[in-house]
Chain A
């Protein structure tokens, strides 16, 4: 059974860097095709993909946020870390990590973590 859980601060000040950790179990993040993605959702708004890291350490970022995002993995700890710099109140929302299924020919997220709410405010 695959599970994921997000952890990190619930409150971040403007201009600070957000660091979120996704701790997972049930798979190994060193298999080609397998990946972990980060998706966020502002309150009452739509889902927005942020970043994806593959088992071969290939990384993808949302183009409009590329300069602010860094995704890394630690396979020994079964963790994926997302860093987002220069946080702004518009970055407030629930941040989800999710398992990218193994099939190389698709990008699908299932299952997802429960999400963690991050508020950006001074």
Chain B
């Protein structure tokens, strides 16, 4: 099984840009789509990015996703940070047998 490693926490000021990384331990990250979920306390996760870089309807274009094959990682970038973006963010991918979530990154906007 592979793992997805995320930073435990990040913090940034309102209006700034933050990038959260998600590194796949084995297997090529480009072979299976990466999703990003936002989870606010007490709520179920919701999708902010799917298929590496696609945004669901209703998710602002301040959210973007990308893949870097050289580092075997995915990234979630949030620009123009708002207080309401404060949440936990999880990356998720899969292979033929397993579904894997990253350990989550707590974003603090202060």
Contact = CB atoms under 8 A, between A and B. Distances in A.
A114 B42 CA distance: 9
B48 to A, nearest CB: 10
Contacts, number: 63
Contact of A47 (B45, B56, B98): B45
Given A47-B90, A49-B99, A108 B45 contact: no
A29 B56 CA distance: 23
Interface string B77-110: 0000000000000101110011111111000000
A114 B99 contact: no
Contacts of B47: 108-110
Interface in B37-91: 37, 39, 44-47, 50-51, 56, 90
Contacts of A113: 44
A110 B90 contact: no
Interface string A61-92: 01100000000000000000000000000000
The size bracket of the interface on A is 20 to 34
A111 interface: yes
Interface of B: 1, 32-33, 35, 37, 39, 44-47, 50-51, 56, 90, 92-94, 97-104
Interface of A: 37, 39, 46-49, 52, 60, 62-63, 96, 105-115
18 contacts: A37-B99, A39-B101, A46-B102, A46-B103, A47-B45, A47-B101, A49-B100, A60-B98, A60-B99, A62-B99, A106-B51, A107-B33, A108-B35, A108-B47, A108-B50, A110-B47, A112-B46, A113-B44
Given A49-B92, A60-B99, A109-B45, 17 more contacts: A39-B101, A46-B104, A47-B45, A47-B90, A48-B101, A49-B100, A63-B97, A105-B33, A106-B50, A107-B94, A107-B99, A108-B47, A109-B35, A110-B56, A111-B44, A113-B44, A115-B44
